[in-house]
């Protein structure tokens, strides 16, 4: 009996322990599975979609994408994908320097293209989508901007302003991705990158061609000498001038260089006139004898440099009594500095430019009026070129039959005599805009258009 009671008590105790353990769970918990480590990968800043209320868009930071860290990565050969065939035909890309040293020019160019696309028209909303990428001030920024607009935003075409180095990079990138690119740049030969690259700018060759023809046909100036800065720009302009002068029938005599930082041009004037000039001669430079002694055997002097440097040279020529010649210059002359003191030494001088805010073309006047009405300031060269370039792009896209980039490219080549703020514009086989230069003259202390 006692054994029976003892066995029963043990059974009850065992059952109690079993039931209690079941309710509380296992005595040893299994290990939890470790969560994968997360690594943040930042995407490049995305371009901005311009809206009427955002003429100068702020920088936008893209969201971060969080991906699990990969311990081992299988390296595969880089695959170059074919150019995207799917495009948004109403989307036009713009690459402007919205940050850095050239941000002011980029911002004004953006203002101009938004005006051209009638983005501000509240009554008739614009159908166009303007997507803007900031190129900053580095070649890499230009390359990334073109790549994104071509493949990421899938724009129909791209308008870009750039310097010489950036222009070459942008041209290569656009050709590789087969997206039409219209570059607003002075870089000669940039369209040689391929059939998708266009240029809208009065190139140095076009400037010199206009100058030499005007000099010979209108002013009967056939014998030139040249004073030029000893840098890439100056040497290129001398080379082009000699080439165009030969075609025109103009004779080029002396071509005399000077250092870019130079302020005293006594030595150059000596070589130009063929007379030895020393410092002591300055005291007698204003005499009639000095004026006679420093006569020259050419009719015109070409100076491809900035307005500030040109005024230094012409005032020193006048100081030594070298007068009676016609001065010619390039678009570098057009600057507020030109009309400051010593402008009298440039009376009658001729130079060329892409645009003149007080020009007599009706399209120029209309553009200046609407630009000033929108922004309360006068437009400059880049503004006018940007406005016209966007106008050309949109005039092509008005044809609803154009669905692909290849069709757009062919239609752009066919543009002829587009009348814009910067004159009549046509594209040809070289894909460089063919246009007439604004021929400008210094007259009575002011600048006026003569053609």
Per-residue confidence (pLDDT) for residue 77, from 0 to 100:
38
Structural domains of the chain sorted by starting position, each given as residue range(s) with its CATH number in brackets: 83-202+359-436 (3.40.50.2300), 205-353 (3.40.50.2300)
Distance of CA 392 to the CA centre of its chain: 17
Per-residue confidence (pLDDT) for residue 124, from 0 to 100:
82
Mean pLDDT for the stretch of residues 381-396: 97
d(CA 180, CA 409): 6
d(CA 181, CA 159): 6
> Could you tell me the two tokens for 103?
């941000």
d(CA 196, CA 191): 8
pLDDT exceeds 50 at position 263: yes
Strands of 326-329's sheet in order across: 251-258, 223-229, 300-302, 326-329, 350-353, 438-443, 446-449
pLDDT tens digit sequence for 89-123: 999 999 999 999 999 999 999 999 999 999 887 78
Is the CB of residue 207 less than 8 Å from the CB of residue 435?
Answer: no
Q: How confident is the model at residue 141 (pLDDT cuts 50, 70, 90)?
A: very high
pLDDT exceeds 90 at position 177: yes
What H or E segment, with its residue span, contains residue 218? helix 204-218
pLDDT exceeds 50 at position 18: no
pLDDT exceeds 70 at position 423: yes
Question: In b/e form, how buried is each residue of 283-297, taking b as 16+ CB within 10 angstroms?
Answer: eebeeeebbebbebe
Is the CB of residue 404 less than 8 Å from the CB of residue 173?
Answer: no
Mean pLDDT for the stretch of residues 72-101: 70
This prediction's pTM = 0.78
Place of tokens 């000077």: 258
Per-residue confidence (pLDDT) for residue 315, from 0 to 100:
93
d(CA 260, CA 234): 10
d(CA 248, CA 222): 9
pLDDT tens digit sequence for 288-306: 444 455 678 899 999 999 9
């Amino acid at each position: 009996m006692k054994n029976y009671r003892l066995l029963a008590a043990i059974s009850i105790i065992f059952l109690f322990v079993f039931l209690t353990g079941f309710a509380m769970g296992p005595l040893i918990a299994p290990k939890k599975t470790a969560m994968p480590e997360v690594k943040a990968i930042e995407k490049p800043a995305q371009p901005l979609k311009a809206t009427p209320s955002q003429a100068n868009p702020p920088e936008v930071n893209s969201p971060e994408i969080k991906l699990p860290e990969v311990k081992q990565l299988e390296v595969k050969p880089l695959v170059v994908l074919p150019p995207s065939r799917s495009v948004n035909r109403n989307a036009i890309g713009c690459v402007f320097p919205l940050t850095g040293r050239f941000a002011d020019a980029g911002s004004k160019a953006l203002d101009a293209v938004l005006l051209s696309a009638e983005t501000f028209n509240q009554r008739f909303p614009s159908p166009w989508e303007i997507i803007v990428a900031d190129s900053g001030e580095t070649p890499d920024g230009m390359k990334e901007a073109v790549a994104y607009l071509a493949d990421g935003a899938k724009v129909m075409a791209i308008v870009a302003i750039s310097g010489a180095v950036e222009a070459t990079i942008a041209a290569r990138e656009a050709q590789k991705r087969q997206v039409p690119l219209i570059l607003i740049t002075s870089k000669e030969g940039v369209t040689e990158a391929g059939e998708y690259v266009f240029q809208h700018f009065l190139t140095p060759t076009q400037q010199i061609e206009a100058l030499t023809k005007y000099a010979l046909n209108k002013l009967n100036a056939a014998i030139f000498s040249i004073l030029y800065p000893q840098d890439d720009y100056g040497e290129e302009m001398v080379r082009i001038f000699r080439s165009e002068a030969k075609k025109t029938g103009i004779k080029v005599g002396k071509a005399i260089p000077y250092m870019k930082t130079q302020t005293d041009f006594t030595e150059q004037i000596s070589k130009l006139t063929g007379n030895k000039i020393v410092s002591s001669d300055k005291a007698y430079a204003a005499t009639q004898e000095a004026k006679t002694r420093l006569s020259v055997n050419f009719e015109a002097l070409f100076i491809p440099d900035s307005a500030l440097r040109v005024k230094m040279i012409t005032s020193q020529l006048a100081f030594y009594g070298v007068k009676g010649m016609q001065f010619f210059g390039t678009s570098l002359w057009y600057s507020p500095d030109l009309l400051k003191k010593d402008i009298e030494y440039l009376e009658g001088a001729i130079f060329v430019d892409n645009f003149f805010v007080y020009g007599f073309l009706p399209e120029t006047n209309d553009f200046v009026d609407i630009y000033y009405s929108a922004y309360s300031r006068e437009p400059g060269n880049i503004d006018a070129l940007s406005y016209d370039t966007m106008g050309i792009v949109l005039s092509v896209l008005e044809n609803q039959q154009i669905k692909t980039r290849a069709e757009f490219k062919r239609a752009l080549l066919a543009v002829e005599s587009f009348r814009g703020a910067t004159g009549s514009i046509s594209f040809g086989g070289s894909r460089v805009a063919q246009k007439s230069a604004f021929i400008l003259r210094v007259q009575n202390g002011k600048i006026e258009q003569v053609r």
